[in-house]
Structure 1
Amino acid sequence: MKLTTTARPLHLAGVLLLASMWGLNWPAVKIALNEISPWTLRAIGLTCAGIVLAVAALIRGNRLSVSRREVGPLILAGMLTIAGFNLFLAFAQLMTSTSRAVIVTFTMPVWTVIFARLFLAEPLDRQRMTGICLGLAGLAALSWPLIASGGFSIGLIYALCAGLCWALGSVVTKKWPVDAAPLTVATWQLLTGAVCAIGGMLLFEGIPVYHGLAESTTLALLYHVIVALAIAYLLWFAILPHVPLGIASLGTLLVPAIGVLGATILLDERPTTMDYIGLCLITLAALSILLPTGRRRTE
């Protein structure tokens, strides 16, 4: 869709707003986890977001039904992209600093390129190879000082697993595309993630018992559910038809930077010099992978 000169600034502002919503969600989740267990938090958030998207899809006239052959790939993608991604992140933030978790997680484009090569036989051009090398260098900058000092945390492994889940889910979505509106696909995936989170909650934590929450925890939970999930997803699908997917994807590169800044201000975290170097290298890696070359621009 061709953009008008009046619509473009508004939609680009929407991309920046979306990146801010998702970036600030990282410290919000960390605060909420102080009093709410990981499985319960994800069960609440994903269920509410899935219901909101389902209602939005019906209001827009999108059908929620899909063919039987598409149910399996949709569920698998939801288990990876939504359930695995969000659950690993919750445990990552319990066991390491939010700033490090967000940096490691956003190696997602690097793993996506690698898995696309392995499972989809997509070519690896020089630009993508550069991105992979930068991403691995960023991981080394983050992890090696911690390993050398004995301060390496399992939380970084969980964050890495979250990025791997997202990448695998993206490959599944591309390998078995679904003939349905993007909002319908997102609804299915979120509700799949919600079912997984509810099952884990009942299995490992039991039925949650209501108890009074601190004001900061309540505000963080409301932000996570209403702003970062429900409103942000609706904003994403409102923006997507009006901007190139590449620009929308590049806008999400702001998420880790905003997440680190939010953790510094709201959580009083103090990232090290190597953390910032890792952030820069991984951001450059994603930029290298997401920016189109001449060939990809033509495609």
Structure 2
Amino acid sequence: MNFPISNVGKIPNQASSILALVVLTLIWGYGWVVVKQALIWCAPVEFAALRSIIGGLFLFFIIFLKKNSLKPVHIKPMLWLSLLQTVGFMGTGALALVEGSVGKSAVLVYTMPLWAIIFAAHFLKEPICKLQWLALCIAGLGLIGIIDPWETYFTLASTLFALIAGLLWGVSVIISKEMELNNTAELININAWQMFIGGLALEILSYFMGESIPIWNSTFLQALAYNSILSSALGWILWLYALQHLSASITSLSSLGVPVVTIILAGMILNEAPTLPETVGVILILVSLAILSIATFLKR
């Protein structure tokens, strides 16, 4: 997917897109820990709704300051992203954290790259090279180790919610990749609307689920601000930025670094000690990322 020549100066090159993924990895990696802490004071779907609505309103404010149009663009894909990326991914991702540990839930959600590479090969005709296949297989083995399904504390509901989140996110990657965004203003616009509309849908869903209202305190407000502004508003902009310049398969598989960061931080902050299979799984994922980097360099 190429942008018009007139907008080349406004769109990041490959190096800045990779930098965006690195920053995003750190933001989202810590974000999972923050969500787990926030669920002490707020129901899962309600929290997903609040962070989406606030994040969308923040982006509307940015659009207003930049004096750009608030009229929604690319309405059809935007609505699909609202359903899949905001309602589906963020809603089921939050539900997965209710019973599941932060590290495992994050890793299961990040089976998304496995789905996205397959979807991209089928729908976007992005070929999978031998090194990418190798990275995919090693990452799959690493995920099995981190899932650790043979342990007695294995939680089925949390596992299913996390896997569904990854699958829905994988579908949204294909939709995002097919969008023809002309400039940064459109990028911010579509993120603002998909988050706001999806957040309202989550709020309605939370109401019919009978979830309790949040317990408002300074700690909860800090967690909400982090996940609304950084993880959601800025995070999805960085994500779509990278998708617009890099291939869907490379962008998606690169995001496997997020659960690795999450596992490390969950151990440091929440005292979630990884088992031996989980540790081996993390190492295998790091190896797969190294192979993916080599594959990206050879594809240039």
Q: Provide the TM-score with structure 1 as the length reference.
A: 0.78
Of 111, 128, 134, 1:107 maps to 111
Query: What is the identity, as a one-letter code, of the residue corresponding to 1:160?
Result: L
In structure 2, relative to structure 1, the CA distance for the partners of 1:35 and 1:254 (3 Å cut) is same
1:222 is aligned to 225
Equivalent AA in structure 1 for residue 59 of structure 2: L
2:52 is aligned with what amino acid?
L
Aligned letter for 1:255?
V
Instruction: Please tell me whether residue 201 in structure 1 is matched to residue 206 in structure 2.
Output: yes
Superposition deviation, residue 124 in structure 1: 2.4
Deviates more, 1:50-59 or 1:21-30: 50-59
Relative distance call for 1:27 and 1:218 in structure 2 (3 A) is same
Distance of 1:84 and 1:286 partners within structure 2: 27
Whole-Å Cα distance in 1 between the matches of residues 290 and 67 of structure 2? 36
Q: Percent identity?
A: 24
Q: Distance in 2 between matches of 1:119 and 1:248?
A: 16
For residues 62 and 211 of structure 1, the distance between their equivalents in structure 2, rounded to whole angstroms, comes to 36
Structure 1 residue corresponding to 2:55, chosen from 35, 49, 54: 49
Q: Distance in 2 between matches of 1:269 and 1:109?
A: 25
Paired letter, 1:262 = L
Specify whether residues 251 and 285 from structure 1 end up closer, same or farther in structure 2 by C-alpha distance, changes over 3 A only: closer
Match of residue 6 from structure 1: none
What is the DSSP-based 3-state SS (H/G/I as helix, E as strand, rest coil) of the residue aligned with 1:146? coil
Return the alpha-carbon distance in structure 1 between the equivalents of residues 19 and 176 of structure 2.
Answer: 28
Offset, 1:48: 0.4
Q: Distance in 1 between matches of 2:165 and 2:145?
A: 19
RMSD: 3.5
Residues 212 and 79 (structure 1), Cα distance of their counterparts in 2 relative to 1, 3 Å cut: closer
The one-letter amino acid of 2:50's match is: I
CA contact (8 A) 1:57 1:64 kept: yes
Aligned equivalents of 2:216, 2:67: Cα separation in 1 = 40
Seen in structure 2, the aligned counterparts of structure 1 residues 23 and 142 have a Cα distance that, compared at 3 Å, is closer
The partner residue of 1:38 within 25, 40, 44 is 44
What are the within-5 Å matches in structure 2 for residues 1-299 of structure 1? 16-66=22-72, 70-143=74-147, 145-147=148-150, 149-154=151-156, 155-175=158-178, 177=180, 181-205=186-210, 209=213, 211=215, 213=217, 216-230=219-233, 232=235, 236=238, 245=246, 252=255, 254-285=257-288, 288-289=291-292, 291-292=295-296, 294-295=298-299, 297=300
Q: 1:109–1:286: 8 Å Cα contact kept in structure 2? A: no
Question: Structure 1: how far apart are the matches of 2:19 and 2:127?
Answer: 33
Instruction: Name structure 2 gaps, 5 residues minimum.
Output: 1-7, 10-14
Number of equivalenced pairs? 282
Deviations 1:77-100, CA, capped at 9 Å, x for gaps:
221122211111111111211011
TM-score, with structure 2 as normaliser: 0.78
- Indicate conservation of the 8 Å contact 2:55/2:233, yes or no: yes
CA distance in structure 2 between the aligned counterparts of 1:45 and 1:204, rounded to whole angstroms: 18
Deviations 1:212-258 (CA, angstroms, capped at 9, x unpaired): 54x54443333323443345557x39x959xx758988885543232
Distance (whole Å) between structure 2 residues aligned to residue 123 and residue 141 of structure 1:
28
The answer to whether the 8 Å contact 2:29/2:261 transfers is yes
Structure 1 residue 164: Cα displacement: 1.1
